[in-house]
Amino acid sequence: MRDEAVTVPSDAAFRAAVLERLSSDHGGRRDLCSVRRAMAAVLRGVVVPIWQSALERGAGHKRVAYLSMEFLIGRLAGDTLLSLGLRDAAKAVCLELGLTLDDVLEVEPDAALGNGGLGRLAACFLDSMATVGCPAVGYGLRYEHGLFRQGIEDDKQTETPEDWLSRGYPWELRSARSYGIGFFGTVTDGVWKPSETIWAQGYDVPVPGWQGSFAGTLRLWAAEAVQSFDLGRFNGGDHVGASETEASARALCRVLYPDDGTEAGQTLRLKQEYFLSAASLADLLADHRAAGLPMETLPDHVAIQLNDTHPAIAGPELMRVLIDEEGLEFDAALKLARGVLNYTNHTLLPEALESWPEMLLGWLLPRHLEIIRMLAGAMPGAGILGGSEVRMGNLAFAMAGRVNGVSALHTELMKETVFAGLHRQHPERIVNQTNGVTPRRWIAGCNPGLAGAVTAAIGEGWLTDLERLGELEPLQPGVVEAMAEVKRANKVQLAAWLGATQGVQVDPGAMFDVQIKRIHEYKRQHLNILETIALWQEMRDAPQAGWVPRVKIFAGKAAPGYHFAKEIIHLIGKVARMVNADPVTGDLLKVVFLPNYNVSLAERLIPAADLSEQISTAGKEASGTGNMKFAMNGALTIGTLDGANVEIRERVGAENFLLFGMTAEEVSSRRAIPDHAATAIEAEPRLARALEALRDGTFIPDWPDLFAGIADNVSGPDHFLVASDFADYWRAQREADRWFADADGWAEKAALNVARSGWFSSDRTIRGYMADIWGISPVSA
Which of 35, 121, 482, 539 binds ligand AZC (CB under 6 A)? It is 121
Which position's Cβ is nearest ligand AZC? 117
Number of helices and strands in the chain (H, E)? 32, 22
CA 776 vs. chain centroid, Å, equals 25
- Please state, in angstroms and rounded to a whole number, the distance separating the CA atoms of residues 580 and 699: 12
User: What residues are paired with 27 via a beta bridge?
Assistant: none
Cβ proximity of 436 and 644 under 8 Å = no
Is the CB of 53 or the CB of 663 nearer to ligand AZC? 663
CB of 111 to ligand AZC, least distance (A): 17
Per CB under 6 A, which of residues 623..682 are in contact with ligand AZC?
623-625, 643
Give, as one character, the DSSP assignment of residue 354.
-
Nearer to ligand AZC, 114 or 216 (CB): 114
Which segment (17-25, 44-52, 318-326, 620-628) binds ligand AZC by CB under 6 A?
Answer: 620-628
Interior angle at CA 107, CA 203 and CA 19, nearest 5: 85
For residue 307, the minimal CB distance to ligand AZC (Å) is: 9
| Closest to 638 (Cα-Cα) out of 658, 620, 623 | 658
User: Which stretch, 315-323, 597-605, 619-627, 725-733, contacts ligand AZC (CB under 6 A)?
Assistant: 619-627
Rounded to the nearest 10 degrees, the angle between the axes of helix 87-96 and helix 32-58 is 160
523 in catalytic set? yes
Of the candidates 149, 410, 491, 523, the residue annotated as catalytic is: 523
d(CA 330, CA 379): 13
Helix (H) or strand (E) holding 186: strand 186-188
The one segment of 73-81, 622-630, 632-640, 717-725 that binds ligand AZC by CB under 6 A: 622-630
Active-site entry in 75, 346, 749, 764? 346
CA distances from 29 to 19, 21, 38, 43, 170 (A): 10, 10, 10, 19, 18
CB nearer to ligand AZC: pick between 144 and 621: 621
**Could you give the CA distance from residue 402 to residue 430 in angstroms, rounded to a whole number?**
6
Provide the 10 A C-beta neighbour count for residue 127: 26
Q: Can you give 190-255 as a three-state secondary structure string?
A: CEEECCEEEEEEEEEEEEECHHHCCEEEEEEEEEEECCCCCHHHHHCCCCCHHHHHHHHHHHHHCE
> Is residue 303 close enough to count as binding ligand AZC by CB under 6 A?
no
d(CA 689, CA 533): 9
Helices 448-458 and 477-502 meet at what angle, rounded to 10?
170
Q: Which stretch binds ligand AZC (CB under 6 A): 110-118, 570-578, 583-591, 633-641?
A: 110-118
Q: Which among 411, 434, 625, 637 is annotated as catalytic?
A: 625
Q: Which of residues 170-199 bind ligand AZC (CB under 6 A)?
A: none
Alpha-carbon torsion angle 499, 504, 505, 507, nearest 10: -100
b or e along 472-499 (b: 16 or more beta carbons within 10 Å of the residue's beta carbon)?
beebeeebbebbbebbbebbeebbeebe
> 224 or 308, CB closer to ligand AZC?
308
Q: Please state at what angle helix 366-378 crosses helix 330-340, rounded to 10 degrees.
A: 90
CB of 761 to ligand AZC, least distance (A): 15
Give whichever of 409 and 779 is closer to ligand AZC, judged by the CB atom: 409
| Residue 186 among the catalytic residues | no
Instruction: Give the residue with the Cβ less far from ligand AZC, 118 or 252.
Output: 118
Task: Between 707 and 760, name the residue whose CB sits nearer to ligand AZC.
Answer: 760
Residues 37, 402, 629, 756: which is the catalytic one? 629
In terms of Cα–Cα distance, which of 420, 271, 434 is closest to 772? Answer: 434
Selected from 116, 258, 634, 768, the binder of ligand AZC by CB under 6 A is 116
Question: 408 or 504: whose CB is closer to ligand AZC?
Answer: 408
In the complex, least distance from residue 453 CB atom to ligand AZC, rounded to whole angstroms: 28
* Closest to 575 (Cα-Cα) out of 615, 610, 612, 530: 530
Taking the complex as a whole, the smallest distance from the CB of residue 343 to ligand AZC amounts, in Å, to: 13
Nearer to ligand AZC, 135 or 405 (CB): 405
Query: Which is closer to ligand AZC, CB of 406 or CB of 558?
Result: 406
Q: Whole-angstrom Cα distance, residue 332 to residue 295?
A: 11
Task: Please report, in angstroms and rounded to a whole number, the separation of the first and last CA atoms in the chain.
Answer: 5
Nearer to ligand AZC, 121 or 395 (CB): 121
Q: Is 271 a catalytic residue?
A: no
Element (H or E) spanning 611, and its range?
strand 611-614
Which amino acid is located at 504 in the chain?
V
Site string for ligand AZC, 405-444 (x = CB under 6 A): -x----------------------------x---------
Range in contact with ligand AZC (rule: CB under 6 A) among 115-123, 219-227, 500-508, 552-560: 115-123
From 86-94, 113-121, 156-164, 425-433, give the range in contact with ligand AZC by CB under 6 A. 113-121
Find how far residue 71's CA is from the centre of its chain: 7
The interface region with ligand AZC, picked from 189-197, 259-267, 621-629, 769-777 by CB under 6 A, is: 621-629
Q: Own/partner pairs for 662-666, CB < 8 Å, 24+ apart? A: 662/618, 662/721, 662/724, 662/725, 663/618, 664/409, 664/413, 664/618, 664/619, 666/618
Nearer to ligand AZC, 490 or 616 (CB): 616
Residue 566 annotated as catalytic: no
Please indicate whether residue 142 is annotated as part of the active site.
no
Smallest distance, ligand AZC to C-beta of residue 517, A: 9
* DSSP states of 398-436: HH-SEEEESSHHHHHHHHHTTTHHHHHH-TTTEEE----
Q: What is the H or E stretch that residue 638 is in?
A: strand 636-639
Whether 625 is catalytic is: yes
Report CA torsion sign: 337, 338, 342, 343: positive
Q: Tell me: does residue 622 bind ligand AZC (CB under 6 A).
A: yes
Question: Looking only at residues 314 through 373 of this chain, which bind ligand AZC when binding is defined by CB under 6 A?
Answer: 346-347, 352
What's the min distance (Å) between Cβ of 622 and ligand AZC?
Answer: 4
The Cα-based distances of 227 to 224, 268, 272, 548, 586 in angstroms read: 8, 20, 20, 65, 64
Count of chain residues binding ligand AZC (CB under 6 A): 16
User: From the CB of 562, what's the least distance to ligand AZC, in Å?
Assistant: 13
> Shortest gap between Cβ of 347 and ligand AZC (angstroms)?
3
Within 10 angstroms of residue 184's Cβ, the number of other Cβ atoms is 16
Q: Residues 738, 744, 745, 750: is their CA dihedral positive or negative? A: positive
User: Considering 177, 250, 488, 518, which one is annotated as catalytic?
Assistant: 518
Binding residue (CB under 6 A) for ligand AZC from 204, 308, 513, 725: 308
* Interface region with ligand AZC, contact rule CB under 6 A, candidates 112-120, 597-605, 736-744, 758-766: 112-120
Nearer to ligand AZC by C-beta: 122 or 721?
Answer: 122
Instruction: Report the interface residues with ligand AZC, using CB under 6 A.
Output: 116-118, 121, 308, 346-347, 352, 406, 435, 621-625, 643
Catalytic residues: 346, 517-518, 523, 625, 629
